[in-house]
Copies of this chain bind each other. A is one copy, B any other.
């Protein structure tokens, strides 16, 4: 592999000059600059990024730590992150934690060891809780799940207003005439808790009963959603509407409804989070809160790159709104 020394020799200059040319530093004569560029060209020289990273103590790599890339929410985000990073000459390390705090801790450390420029992190609940005390050692943007933030915080935050979104989704069901609304919430997730709050708020405001058995906290898996739905269907007074707080749950409920030959929305209405690609393919189409995944990914990356160049920026918090898309699955019962 050709190195900077070869280029220097060929151009008849020192390595320092080559480095200056490549780094677009001032104080190089145009003539020399041209000669160096030509040598670079002729030798097809490409700088070794590892050496650069070591010496300059910075790199053009960022980390993206999420629970599971197969969750469409994270899939879309990661795509947006990668795109935005690419456009600014950054590349992306992908890490799946499976909501396992140990795996997450490992990756958080690994990112430091790899000397990444910064990290976009969707923390597990445990990490979110301890976040303030865990000096990560690199610029960080937290997405999807809230972490404490104060004057001395050096991280940014991008969230959607989960409580509000759940509130609106629930209200939508109420307005469409549903009386007995159950909800499925992610067991180990922060968002689950917040969405639960919005759900409760809407029900209370409308003076509706909230039977304990209608509120289920289960692991964020399709199978868990399916099982929980089955149980709900078999209650002696089953709900007439169901709110799901992620697309895996929605899929599970759909499966359960099929198995029980329940028709949506006649027997049970359905409204959920995340506008997964298939929500308009099924019959009926599913009412959802669409999270602005592209924008989350893009903004997160922009905030991060911004913070990388100015690490001491004050903490910023961006709250985005989910978008309610009403479809057949929650059509009015009147």
Contact = CB atoms under 8 A, between A and B. Distances in A.
Interface of A: 1, 46-51, 53-54, 59, 61, 68-70, 75-76, 78-79, 82-83, 86, 91-96, 103, 109-110, 112-115, 137, 222, 251, 254-255, 258, 276-278, 280-283
A94 B96 contact: no
Nearest to A94: B94
22 contacts: A49-B115, A50-B54, A61-B93, A61-B114, A68-B79, A69-B69, A69-B75, A70-B75, A70-B76, A75-B75, A78-B94, A79-B96, A82-B96, A91-B95, A92-B94, A94-B94, A222-B277, A251-B277, A251-B281, A254-B281, A278-B278, A278-B282
Contacts of A258: 281
Nearest to A82: B96
Contacts of A255: 280-281
Given A51-B54, A115-B50, A69 B59 contact: no
Contacts of A82: 69, 94-96
B113 A46 contact: yes
A113 B47 contact: yes
Contacts of A113: 46-49
Nearest to A110: B91
Given A222-B277, A282-B282, 19 more contacts: A46-B113, A47-B113, A49-B115, A50-B50, A50-B53, A51-B54, A69-B69, A69-B78, A70-B79, A78-B94, A91-B93, A93-B93, A94-B94, A255-B280, A276-B278, A278-B282, A281-B281, A282-B283, A283-B283
Nearest to A53: B50
Contacts of A112: 46
